C-alpha cells in the first residue's frame, strides 16, 4: 500500500518530521519547484510561511493536495481564489503563538509606559536624567482581534491591571463588535492590533482612526503589516497625534536600511519576532506531526481555516 506524498515548501532550518518515517513519502521543494510538484502531493506543508509561492502555483493544471497546512497563524500569504474554491482543507498553526505574542505585547506596554527606550538612549549618551513614568495598572486597552492571540493579549494585560476590551468581527460574550471600535479606540491608552488580514481589516488603522486616539495613547501592531496605513502612522507620531507606537509587522518585510520607519520619533521597530521564542520551530513541527496523525486516521482536523473569511472562526 502506497503512503501519502507529503510535499514540504521548505525553509531553513527544515521541519523535524522524523516521526513520519514510513508514514509519508516526504518531498521537499523550494518556491521555484512548487508548481511542478503540486500535482503529485496529497498533503502540502507550507513551512516557508513568508513565501507567496502557493498563491502563485495553485491556479495551475493537474490535481491538488487534499490538505494544506501552514506553519503560521496568518494565511493571507497563500490564499488565492482558486485555493478558496477548491475542496482542499486548509489549517494553520493556531495555538502555538498565543502566549508568546501576548508576553511580547505586555513587554512593549511596560517598556513604553516606563520610558525604557529613552532610558537606553540616555545610557548610551552617558546622561543622568531623572524622569517620571506612567502607571500601567488602571489604564485601558482596546485589543483588535478576538482570536486566541487577541484573547491571550487581553488576559496578559489584565494580569497587569489593564482593563482590556476585545473587538472582533461580531459581538458575542466578552467581545465587542466592530460598531464599538471607534468608541473604544477613542478612550484607550493602548490600542493593540492583532487581527487577521482580510478585506475588512486591510488599512483599518488610517489617518481617521489615528485621529480618534488620545494624544497620550500608544499603538502596537502584532497582527499584519497591511492593517496599518504606515504613512498615516508616521504623520500621527511626527505631529504628536499619539504618544508612541511599536510595530512588529510591516507592509513590506524586511525593512530596507533606508526605510523612514527606522527613524520615526516614538516608534519601536522589531523584525516580526513577537511570537518566535526559543524552540518555536520544534513546536510547529510537533503540531504538524500531531495533525498528520489525525488526518492519517481520518479524524476531524482542528484549526480549519474558513477560506472565504481568511482565518479560523472563533467559538
Domain CATH number, residue 23: 3.40.50.720
CB atoms within 10 A of CB 267: 19
Q: What is the pLDDT of residue 315?
A: 56
What burial letters (b/e) apply to 39-53, b meaning 16+ CB within 10 Å?
eebbbbbbbbbebeb
Q: What is the pLDDT of residue 1?
A: 60
> Is the same domain home to 166 and 261?
yes
Tally of domains in the chain:
2
Contact call for residues 4 and 25 (beta carbons, < 8 A)? yes
Domain-located, residue 301: no
> Is the same domain home to 172 and 213?
yes
Q: What is the pLDDT of residue 209?
A: 98
Taking alpha carbons only, the member of 133, 165, 136 closest to residue 150 is 165
Which residues are part of the catalytic machinery?
Answer: 224, 253, 272
Angle at CA of residue 193, ends 191 and 195, nearest 5°: 145
Domain-located, residue 205: yes
- Distance, first Cα to last Cα, the chain: 39
Long-range contacts, 5-8 (Cβ 8 Å, 24+):
5/40, 5/41, 5/42, 5/43, 6/41, 6/42, 6/43, 6/44, 6/45, 6/292, 7/34, 7/37, 7/38, 7/40, 7/41, 7/43, 7/44, 7/45, 7/65, 8/44, 8/45, 8/47
Counting as low any pLDDT under 70, the low residues of the chain are: 1, 315
C-alpha dihedral over 251, 253, 257, 262, to 10 degrees? 50
Q: What is the pLDDT of residue 314?
A: 76
> Is the same domain home to 27 and 117?
no
Question: 36 lies in which domain range?
Answer: 5-96+279-296
> Is the same domain home to 65 and 161?
no
> Is the same domain home to 69 and 109?
no
Q: Is 8 helix (H, G, I), strand (E, B) or coil?
A: strand
> Is the same domain home to 83 and 193?
no
Q: What is the pLDDT of residue 123?
A: 98
> Is the same domain home to 217 and 249?
yes
> Is the same domain home to 32 and 102?
no
Domain-located, residue 303: no
> Is the same domain home to 257 and 108?
yes
Domain-located, residue 262: yes
> Burial, 269: exposed, middle or buried (Cβ in 10 Å; 0-12, 13-18, 19+)?
middle
Amino acid at each position: 500500500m502506497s503512503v501519502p506524498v507529503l510535499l514540504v515548501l521548505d525553509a531553513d532550518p527544515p521541519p523535524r518530521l522524523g516521526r513520519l518515517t514510513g508514514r509519508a513519502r516526504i518531498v521537499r521543494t523550494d518556491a521555484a519547484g512548487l508548481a511542478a510538484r503540486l500535482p503529485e502531493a496529497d498533503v502540502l506543508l507550507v513551512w516557508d510561511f513568508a513565501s507567496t509561492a502557493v498563491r502563485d502555483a495553485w491556479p495551475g493544471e493537474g490535481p491538488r493536495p487534499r490538505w494544506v497546512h501552514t506553519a503560521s497563524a496568518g494565511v493571507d500569504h497563500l490564499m488565492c481564489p482558486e485555493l478558496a474554491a477548491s475542496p482542499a482543507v486548509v489549517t494553520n498553526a493556531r495555538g502555538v503563538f498565543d502566549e508568546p505574542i501576548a508576553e511580547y505585547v505586555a513587554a512593549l506596554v511596560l517598556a513604553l509606559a516606563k520610558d525604557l527606550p529613552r532610558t537606553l538612549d540616555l545610557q548610551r549618551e552617558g546622561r543622568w536624567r531623572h524622569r517620571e513614568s506612567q502607571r500601567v495598572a488602571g489604564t485601558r486597552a482596546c485589543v483588535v482581534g478576538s482570536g486566541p492571540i487577541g484573547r491571550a493579549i487581553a488576559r496578559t494585560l489584565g494580569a497587569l491591571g489593564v482593563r482590556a476590551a476585545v473587538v472582533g468581527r461580531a459581538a458575542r460574550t466578552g467581545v465587542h463588535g466592530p460598531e464599538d471600535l471607534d468608541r473604544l479606540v477613542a478612550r484607550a491608552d493602548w490600542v493593540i492590533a492583532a487581527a487577521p488580514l482580510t478585506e475588512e481589516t486591510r488599512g483599518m488603522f488610517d489617518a481617521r482612526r489615528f485621529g480618534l486616539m488620545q494624544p497620550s495613547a500608544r499603538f502596537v501592531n502584532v497582527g499584519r503589516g497591511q492593517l496599518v496605513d504606515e504613512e498615516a502612522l508616521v504623520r500621527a507620531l511626527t505631529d504628536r497625534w499619539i504618544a508612541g507606537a511599536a510595530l512588529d509587522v510591516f507592509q513590506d518585510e524586511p525593512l530596507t536600511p533606508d526605510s523612514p520607519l527606522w527613524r520615526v520619533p516614538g516608534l519601536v521597530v522589531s523584525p516580526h519576532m513577537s511570537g518566535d521564542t526559543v524552540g518555536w520551530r520544534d513546536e510547529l513541527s510537533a503540531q504538524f506531526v500531531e495533525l498528520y496523525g489525525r488526518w492519517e486516521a481520518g479524524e476531524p482536523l482542528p484549526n480549519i481555516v474558513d477560506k472565504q473569511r481568511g482565518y479560523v472562526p472563533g467559538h
